[in-house]
Structure 1
Amino acid sequence: MSTTHAPIRVFQVASGNVGSEMIKRISAHRDLELVGLHCYSPDKIGRDAGEIAGLEPIGVTATGTIEEIIAAQPDVLTFHGVFPDEALYERVLEAGINIVTTADFITGHHRDRNHPHPSGRKVTEVLEAACQRGGSTFYGTGMNPGLCQILGVVHSADVAEIENVTVIESVDVSCHHSVETWKEVGYGKPIDDPSIAGSLEKYTRVFSDSVYMMADCFDLELDEVTFTYELGACTKDVDLGWYRMPKGSLGANYVKYQGMVDGVPRIESHLEWQMTPHTDPSWNIKGCYITQITGDPNIYSKHMIFPKPGVRLDNPEDFASIGMTVTGLPALNSLRSIVAAAPGIRTSADMPLRGFAGRFVR
């Protein structure tokens, strides 16, 4: 692919954990130019984006209105908030600005089912109509859901007869320093709190999207996607410095989203998460993303992520940076393909191979 393209003009939304890391990564991404930063926190508006991300000033001042996004006329908006802002999406898309988001969207199935739009229409109908009015494209991705399921599909390329495809995220999630996120999920609540199951499903429902996305690639019609879970209770008081979990509270979980056909699980997405290894039950956290395919032949693959030389995993900030990087980079690396795509909602099943490609060093 040519490296002589004019840089893609990027307006970013949010500067939390993932957003701050992406400000750093955009500056090193040869075909991207950060032209704006939209913040929801009043104390960030008016400050330099570099300063917010812990860098030297970069000459981009954080703003706080949708009108300022539209006035900047970026090629694409990257959204790294924890929760979607569909009112912002609609305004930006109908203004002709493409959007790539890492917030709770892969196919839109879960948003349609669980988060009805104020208008009464499906969220996907609202976003698709905005795309068509503006001639823009909308795409949701991330590490998981996102790249993890793409790897599941790609690993099936040399399998003649597939019986089951399962992708597993087996990770220590203590690197993700988002207090509000883990409160929502239920971590730190007594293990017998009846609200935990609902909270865990509410926060992870987007993983049903990932199962449907894989099914789309395999041209497999699912009867349903089921949710099951196991909970791990802390065996002692745990203080991570940024989050506290008393003895007997939720400190780990194993979640399964299973795509069923005639009562048989065919496509699965599992979440093996621990905030601490001191739980009962506990799982053998492998620190990687696993693809298991039962068929002819069988496939077992680990996608393992290691820091570059000089990065210390015993440094909490460096450890967290790796997790934020692999969450946001699938979005950044997709931008040129999304800008070139036809208007409408796109999923990873629609993306060209180059839409998943990283960038070589300069």
Structure 2
Amino acid sequence: MTQRKYRVIQWATGVVGQAALKHFIENPVIDLVGVAVTNPDKLGKDAGDLVGLPPTGVIATDNVEALVALDADCVFFAGLVKDLDLFERLLRSGKNIVSPAGPFFPTDRYKADFDRLEAACAAGGTSFHGCGVHPGFSGDILPLTLTRLMNRVDLIEVTEVIDKIRNPMVYTEMMGFGRDPEELLANPSRSAEAPYAFEGSMRMVVEGLGKSIERLTTRLEVATAIQDIPYSLGIGLPDTGVVKQGTVAGQHFEWTAWADGKPLIVYHFYWVMGEHVTPQWLTGPSCYKVAIHGDPPLEVHLMGGIGEDGERPFLGLPWTGLVGATAVPAVCDAAPGIVTHLDLGIVQPKGLVR
């Protein structure tokens, strides 16, 4: 069977971008035609070198104009934050976009953003798809699919648990670990806009169940270190900091979407700096968990497989890259406009069996 090949530009090569880049290089239905980087150390390097693969002949660049001018079917944008000006240029130039940076699912709060993207899609005959694991797969596609196994749904809880000692990330410092507990509760490090970025996933589930979100509430509690906790910002890197005893070593964010006067879907985020904290929220490996209360009750855990070290790694960031990368052909084949998970339906990834 012959298959169409899709010409793809990888934009940004952090952990998420590297997972997608590796997939594009190894997938036989993808032609990698460009790689955008911002790190000077990566400029001029072959795309294969960036992910430990043989040379591809595609050289990393920061030349935006040259990338916009490339003949490509899709740009996989893995920057940390959305860039609507760039998105408009790319869409108008005839390139579809898959973006783990969002925006994800149309809500009133981000209507202006989606209006801009819709206009650019119409001008370029292209599609835009915001995707991810959370917001995204674990908080919308997965729970909504699982409701097919329910007779009655009373409450859906989606929980993200990350042990940031076993699974270090660059976000540790920016998220306020090591701060005074009362100070962080009064002025959280996580953006006040964050719950609304996840509202699209909540809306997808709530409206999929025939209801609408009446209000969105938030709550934050913290855990503290019972001893000094050294930490690293990446696997294999030396310790770069210490969370002092008595400072913030755990955060539990709780965001609730209400319907018919009661909670219908709750997102929990437990971020913990290992075991030497109080209260201790860790009860197992880092994972995503979906619990559906109703008839019959249901619970599913989504986690990495056991690695060579006997541990289960937290794969949230690589999965964020892959859930978007595997949707690229479907987005390219979709009708022009905003393409949500609901529009894509059951994605049938191409090139995975090889």
How high is the TM-score relative to the length of structure 2? Answer: 0.88
Q: 1:111-122 to 2 correspondence within 5 Å?
A: 112=110, 122=112
Moved more, 67-76 or 7-16: 67-76
- Match of 1:53? 51
State the AA in 2 paired with 1:25. Answer: H
Structure 1 residue 350 and structure 2 residue 343: aligned? yes
- Match of 1:25? 23
- Match of 2:202? 211
Give 3-state SS (helix, strand or coil) of 2:190's partner.
helix
8 Å Cα contact 2:29-2:351 kept in structure 1: no
The CA distance in 2 between the partners of 1:123 and 1:151, in whole Å, is: 26
- Match of 2:176? 186
- Match of 1:223? 214
Cα distance change of structure 1 residues 85 and 183 upon mapping to structure 2, 3 Å threshold: farther
- Match of 1:118? none
Once the 2 structures are TM-superposed, how far is the Cα of residue 127 of structure 1 from its aligned partner?
Answer: 1.3
Cα distance change of structure 1 residues 66 and 111 upon mapping to structure 2, 3 Å threshold: farther
CA-based RMSD of the aligned residues comes to: 2.5
Q: 1:1-362 to 2 correspondence within 5 Å?
A: 4-109=2-107, 112=110, 122-149=112-139, 150-174=141-165, 177-179=168-170, 181-194=171-184, 197-202=187-192, 204-205=194-195, 206-242=197-233, 243-244=240-241, 245-286=243-284, 287-307=286-306, 311-312=308-309, 319=313, 322-355=315-348, 357=349, 360-362=352-354
The CA distance in 2 between the partners of 1:110 and 1:49, in whole Å, is: 39
Give 3-state SS (helix, strand or coil) of 2:347's partner.
helix
- Match of 2:237? none
Moved more, 332-341 or 28-37: 28-37
Once the 2 structures are TM-superposed, how far is the Cα of residue 326 of structure 1 from its aligned partner?
Answer: 1.6
Q: Residues 215-266 of structure 1, C-alpha deviation per residue, up to 9 Å, x if partnerless?
A: 2322321111211121112222221233422223322221111111243101
State the AA in 1 paired with 2:113. Answer: V
8 Å Cα contact 1:39-1:62 kept in structure 2: yes
Q: Residues 185-227 of structure 1, C-alpha deviation per residue, up to 9 Å, x if partnerless?
A: 2223222224775322447332223212222322321111211
8 Å Cα contact 1:166-1:267 kept in structure 2: yes
8 Å Cα contact 2:131-2:324 kept in structure 1: yes
The CA distance in 1 between the partners of 2:304 and 2:8, in whole Å, is: 27
8 Å Cα contact 1:167-1:291 kept in structure 2: yes
Q: Which ranges in structure 1 are unaligned for 5 or more consecutive residues? A: 113-120
Q: Which ranges in structure 2 are unaligned for 5 or more consecutive residues? A: 234-239
Runs in 1 of length 4+ with deviation above 6 angstroms?
Answer: none
The CA distance in 1 between the partners of 2:280 and 2:303, in whole Å, is: 21
Give 3-state SS (helix, strand or coil) of 1:144's partner.
coil
The CA distance in 2 between the partners of 1:83 and 1:285, in whole Å, is: 32
Cα distance change of structure 1 residues 86 and 136 upon mapping to structure 2, 3 Å threshold: same
8 Å Cα contact 1:207-1:257 kept in structure 2: no
Give 3-state SS (helix, strand or coil) of 1:6's partner.
coil
Moved more, 102-111 or 226-235: 102-111
Cα distance change of structure 1 residues 29 and 203 upon mapping to structure 2, 3 Å threshold: farther
Give 3-state SS (helix, strand or coil) of 1:124's partner.
helix
State the AA in 2 paired with 1:248. Answer: G
Cα distance change of structure 1 residues 359 and 258 upon mapping to structure 2, 3 Å threshold: farther
State the AA in 2 paired with 1:213. Answer: M
Q: Provide the identity percentage.
A: 29
8 Å Cα contact 2:216-2:255 kept in structure 1: yes
